[in-house]
Amino acid sequence: MSFCSFFGNEAFQNHFEPGIYVCAKCGYELFSSHAKYAHSSPWPAFTETIHADSVAKRAEHNRPQALKVSCGRCGNGLGHEFLNDGPKPGQSRFIFSSSLKFIPKGKESAASEGH
């Protein structure tokens, strides 16, 4: 069952360069490229966040195996965490669409100076 619509031009679908993914709204660090893995959905999939407070999660009543995820700093809606749907047993899968911005490795500090 799919919970989100696919548009055909999802950013970062096949993007595996080293770096970090930040909130497109406030620039807070969310995911490392080391936590990204190939998945059948057109959106990037991650297994873990950079910081314990990178994201905030809340249950969705009609989706018992999914949590709504937002930026831990600004509250920007990011996507979903699908419980026990990661690449290894017991891992969750985070998926997001246009809510992310990629910062290439080596440019992380320059990107966060304004935040």
Average pLDDT of the chain, as a whole number: 77
Per-residue pLDDT at 55 = 93
Q: What is the pTM of this model?
A: 0.75
What's the pLDDT tens digit per position in 5-31? 434 444 555 566 788 989 989 999 998
What's the pLDDT tens digit per position in 57-81? 999 888 778 888 999 999 998 888 8
Taken in order of first residue, the domains within the chain and their CATH numbers are 19-104 (2.170.150.20)
Structure tokens at 72: 């831990």
d(CA 40, CA 56): 25
